[in-house]
Amino acid sequence: MATELAPSATAPLPRERLPEWIRVRPPRGAVYPEVHSLLRELRLGTVCQEARCPNLPECWSSGHATIMLLGTECSRRCSFCAVTTRSSRGKIDATEPGRVAAAVQGWGLKYVVLTQVCRDDLIDGGAAVLAETVDRIRATSPTTRVELLAGDLAGNRSAWEMLLRRPPDVLAHNLETVRRLSLEVRDRRASYDQSLEVLRLARSLGGDRLVTKSSIMLGLGETREELRDTFRDLRAAGVDLLTLGQYLRPSLDHRAVHEFVTPLAFDELRDAALAEGFAGVESGPLVRSSYHAGALYDRAIGQRGR
């Protein structure tokens, strides 16, 4: 799966006492039911629902949702992830790119985030569908900025070349955790070095206008020095933007939380990451990959324009 995950406001929480600084607000505002209704009408999945994101109420209430491509079943099983693991046996829905473009146009979005389930059953990992979806959005909503949070596509260079022939505005791929923990946190088909390599490849293939981005979960047992090493690895791969958030256990069947990182520590880590040269860093307990994505993109573009 292409993004880090956490419980929703409505899903039962595992038996871990949450600290007082982790609070999820209930849905509010007229836009929330409109978003829910349009997604249901167009039969679209969102990472907000499938991954049980704690920011769903806030984002949907303001008209934002992260649309999930290539279905809702992932071919990988990561110890932190709430998305259903099942092979789709090469099946794709050819109508999905058009339905996604219709949703973006219907909302009138200025900025949209797309993500995907991993599809190791497809030769290209789903790159053709991702590319078509970006193209469809560009055709029907030409002023909309598009961020694509992609999986590693099994490190397939030709798939990445196809995907980035007409790149999105932002290409995100999540490293998820530090090197020492990567093998036990992520599916065995993912790796720390492969993720760094696809980020380097995106930087190389995407051209000067492409912004690259990654995300790290905290509270899995990493040390502060390991995080600083990871920041340096991401910057060496040319990554522009970074998000840091607290890992929250989706169920008792998933990896336990090792530590609840304090807001002060998140602030200190944001400053440490900025000192490494990232154009923008979003850091906090409930921050996720797509949180305040448009504002982060503006920071990257603003810094390039200086």
Q: Is residue 138 part of a domain?
A: yes
Mapping DSSP to helix (H, G, I), strand (E, B) and coil, where does residue 131 land? helix
Q: Express each pLDDT in 241-250 by its tens digit.
A: 999 999 998 8
Q: Is residue 275 part of a domain?
A: yes
Which CATH number fits the domain that encloses residue 196? 3.20.20.70
Provide φ and ψ at 194, rounded to 5°.
-65, -40
Q: Is residue 13 part of a domain?
A: no
Q: Is residue 107 part of a domain?
A: yes
Q: Express each pLDDT in 134-182 by its tens digit.
A: 999 999 999 999 999 999 999 999 999 999 999 999 999 999 999 999 9
pTM of the model: 0.85
Instruction: Name the one residue in this structure whose structure tokens are 């949703």.
Output: 103
Count of Cβ atoms closer than 10 Å to residue 135 Cβ: 15
Mapping DSSP to helix (H, G, I), strand (E, B) and coil, where does residue 76 land? coil
Chunked mean pLDDT (size 10), the chain, 306 residues: 42 63 62 56 50 51 69 88 85 92 85 91 97 97 95 97 96 98 95 98 94 97 98 98 94 91 98 97 91 88 73
Instruction: Name the one residue in this structure whose structure tokens are 């036990």.
Output: 184
Position 280 scores a pLDDT of: 96
Q: Is residue 19 part of a domain?
A: no
CA distances from 6 to 53, 112, 147 (A): 5, 21, 21
Distance CA 116, CA 295 (A): 22
Distance CA 129, CA 126 (A): 5
Structural domains of the chain, count: 1
Position 49 scores a pLDDT of: 46
**Domain enclosing residue 128, as ranges:** 31-304
Supply angle C-alpha 167, 194, 76, rounded to 5.
90
Position 8 scores a pLDDT of: 35
